[in-house]
Amino acid sequence: MTDTVRYCLDANIFISAKNGPYGFDIVPSFWQWIDRTVSEGKIYSSLFVCDELCKGTDYLAGWAKERRSSGLFVEPSKSVQEAYGLVAERVLAMYEPYSAQPFLDGADPWMIAHGIADRSTLVSFEALVSPRKTIVKIPNICQVFGIRPVSTYTMLRECGARF
């Protein structure tokens, strides 16, 4: 691993891009940028994010399926699996089971585990919420583990993206 910042993308980044400013038909260069930046080793996502995206029936689901083995979506290494255990332990200690379990059943804790193990920056549109809230959010757990969460726009600026 080099000193280069790597970004791990949440499912909501792909979904928001498709539904909003970077629709496949509006800004195809965004999606080309994703492919190119993956090949440069700057961005990736969890295989569990791919699984979430592939549950859909739209163009994005097909796009994700085509990239399942492209390097965009990565399987959790042993160190990521160990980090997942730390995330799960902490989430279960901080939240009631009715909040913790749905979070732990999804891709989000795996992204955080990648952030811990790979020293990655997490890219998500989720926002930090009050500690009194009962819902588990990526930025809150990132804060616990010293991981930097950013938005798509921050990542694009930091990577020097131009469309």
Domain-embedded: residue 2? no
Domain-embedded: residue 1? no
- Full DSSP string of 3-17: SS--EEE-HHHHHHH
Residue 4 pLDDT exceeds 90: no
The domain of 64 spans: 7-159
Residue 1 pLDDT exceeds 50: no
- Full DSSP string of 54-116: HTS-SHHHHHHHHTTTTTSEE---HHHHHHHHHHHHHHHHHS-HHHHHHHHTSSHHHHHHHHH
pLDDT of the residue at 3: 59
Residues 107/51, Cβ–Cβ less than 8 Å: yes
Query: In angstroms, what CA-CA distances link 114 with 41, 62, 63, 80, 147?
Result: 14, 24, 22, 5, 10
Percent share of the chain, pLDDT over 70: 98
pLDDT of the residue at 132: 75
pLDDT of the residue at 131: 75
Domain-embedded: residue 67? yes
Q: How many domains does the chain have?
A: 1
pLDDT in tens, 86-141: 999 999 999 999 999 999 999 999 999 999 999 999 999 999 898 778 899 999 99
- Side chain identity, residue 81: Q
CATH number of the domain bearing residue 76? 3.40.50.1010
Domain-embedded: residue 73? yes
What is the C-alpha R_g of the chain?
15
Domain-embedded: residue 144? yes
Question: pTM of the full predicted structure?
Answer: 0.93
pLDDT in tens, 39-52: 999 999 999 999 99
